[in-house]
Amino acid sequence: MTGMISFQGVPGAYSDLACRNAYPAMTTLPCASFEAAIDAVRDGRAALGMLPCENSLAGRVSDIHQLLPDSGLYIIGEQFQRVEHCLLAVRGARIDEIRRAHSHSVALGQVRRILAELDLTPVVEADTAGAAELVAGWGRKEDAAIASALAAEIYGLNILRANVEDAAHNTTRFYVVAPRAAAVDPATRNLMTTFVFRVRNVPAALYKALGGFATNGVNMTRLESYMINGAFTATQFLCDVEGHPEHTSVRRALEELSFFSTEMRVLGAYPMAAFRVGQGAAD
């Protein structure tokens, strides 16, 4: 596929890297916010959008849960991106000259070991690639950034040390979104379906709503709850299951869910990423 793919952040962000790895023929479009990345797809400036939805260490990306269901866009794929943090500095700087490490707050929390080892003062910035851009602009040997190798390439920084993250399994999952739903043949192996629903405010409503997935043998890989418009009684759920809505088991489970929910919408049916299949997802 060619054209533009939007993401939140500046060039060199991990979302940018995910776009380049998943769609190397496309041009990445940096956006200031998740809303702007969604709008770029909605108004036709980008053919696709790359939106992070969860991280193996930090958990869910709550903004996406709130924005995606009402965006009018559809999930057509998923991408998993390993987060490989690097310690970046201006050319000529030695590791013993570094005094401060700049990055996003989440990234700084993921590199505590090297911060302690080098006795670096963590400084919170808006994002990882933005921190690399700042360090490059300052040109000071005592300031470093925690960011990707792509950010080092873009902003002309040296990688003083690669893979400084504390946990080797640090991975972010992304939804790939488009203006139209993917035309996926239900006979295709290794499919996922993502949907949102709300349950009636009655005892055991969630238990009853989800019972159909158990009785029909549908594997649920993700279930997230969050409030709607700040109301404690209006809870919405986002769910990923293995399979396609036209599969008999998934269709029956969704029918049972709709009986106990006040609203249910499928956000997309799409192929599993190779990363998921490699981890042994059901066929």
Q: Which of 34, 80, 128, 172 is catalytic?
A: 172
H-type helices in 163-240, by residue range?
205-215
Terminal Cα-to-Cα distance of the chain (whole angstroms): 26
**Cα 32 to Cα 152: distance, rounded to the nearest angstrom:** 20
**Cα 125 to Cα 280: distance, rounded to the nearest angstrom:** 37
135 three-state secondary structure: helix
What Cα–Cα distance (Å) separates residue 273 from each residue in 102, 147, 194, 210? 32, 24, 14, 25
237 catalytically annotated: no
Q: Which helix (H) or strand (E) holds 283?
A: none
**Whether 268 contacts 244, CB under 8 Å:** no
Q: Which of 7, 80, 174, 237 is catalytic?
A: 174
Which tokens go with 36? 């702007």
Nearest to 27 by CA among 19, 35, 36, 15: 19
Angle between helices 205-215 and 248-260 (to 10 degrees): 170
Q: What size, in residues, is the chain?
A: 283
Q: Beta strand pairing status for 158-161 and 86-89?
A: antiparallel
What Cα–Cα distance (Å) separates residue 142 from each residue in 91, 137, 138, 159, 247? 12, 13, 10, 14, 58
**Cα 145 to Cα 151: distance, rounded to the nearest angstrom:** 10
178 three-state secondary structure: strand
- The values of phi and psi at residue 243, to 5°, are 120, -175
7 catalytically annotated: no
Q: Which residues are catalytic, by number?
A: 172, 174
